[in-house]
Amino acid sequence: MTTPLVVAVDGPSGSGKSSVSRATATALRVGFLDTGAMYRAVTWAAMHAGTDLGDPEAVAARVRTVALVMGTDPAAPTVAAVVDGVETDLTEAVRSSEVTANVSAVASIQAVRHDLILRQRALIESACLAPEPGREPGMVAEGRDITTVVAPEADVRILLTADESVRLARRARQDLGAADAAALEATRRGIVERDRVDSRTTAFTTAADGVVTVDSTHLDFEGTVAAMLAVVEQQTGGPA
């Protein structure tokens, strides 16, 4: 059996973590885990149940009742939640503006973080011990605190970043289809505020010891993926 490979990727909003990590996982033929989608899914579940998001204990209690089903195929990652015995596909719903507006508040609750971190570690371990057919054992996991908390012993740990102006333009084009002044300002309000709130809980703007920074400011998508794979090759001592 091939030696498992775990790649942990952190980075701020708009850095391209998800798309670049998916392409990296595809190239490595391993699974892909979007940990942010897990926080979004439990946020949806709490909102769907009418839970008071201002009550940390109530939110944590609700989250504990929600089973998550994460599809880790990098070509088509999915997320579903099983609530009260009913499984609901949330792949699209977790990207709604309502979930986006509330996910940071839910993710900042320590009991919720502890719960989901354990689940994330279990998913990574499962991908290493029992990969799905056609995949090599391992996982590319991306999020906010993967390199330092979820998988600090990962074979490769990367902080993916870019200048704020570049991140804003990328996210504006992705979400709004344009990067004019109005789109950039609307995107800035969402990204800057979310990063500000999330930074109270996790450190994802500077690389911890042993974490390699990949700055994509002057790289296109393909160049960024190539840079990620080069780090994998360098850190593991073999071709990616």
What are the tens digits of pLDDT across the range 162-178? 888 778 777 767 666 66
What are the tens digits of pLDDT across the range 198-218? 555 565 567 788 999 999 999
Mean predicted lDDT score pLDDT of the chain: 89
Please tell me the predicted confidence (pLDDT) of residue 123. 98
Whether 140 shows a pLDDT value over 90: the answer reads yes
Residue-range definition of the domain harbouring residue 210: 5-236
Whether 194 shows a pLDDT value over 70: the answer reads no
Whether 222 shows a pLDDT value over 90: the answer reads yes
Q: What is the mean pLDDT of residues 128-136?
A: 94
Instruction: Give the CATH number, domain containing residue 206.
Output: 3.40.50.300
State how many domains the chain has: 1
What are the tens digits of pLDDT across the range 76-125? 999 999 988 899 999 999 999 899 889 989 999 999 999 999 999 999 99
Please tell me the predicted confidence (pLDDT) of residue 31. 98
* Residues 121/130, Cβ–Cβ less than 8 Å: no
State CA 190 to chain mean position distance. 17
Whether 126 shows a pLDDT value over 90: the answer reads yes
The pTM of this model reads 0.88
Please tell me the predicted confidence (pLDDT) of residue 14. 77
Amino acid symbol at 117: I
Q: Report residue 226: phi and psi, to 5°.
A: -60, -40
Please tell me the predicted confidence (pLDDT) of residue 185. 64
The length of the chain in residues reads 240
Whether 139 shows a pLDDT value over 90: the answer reads yes
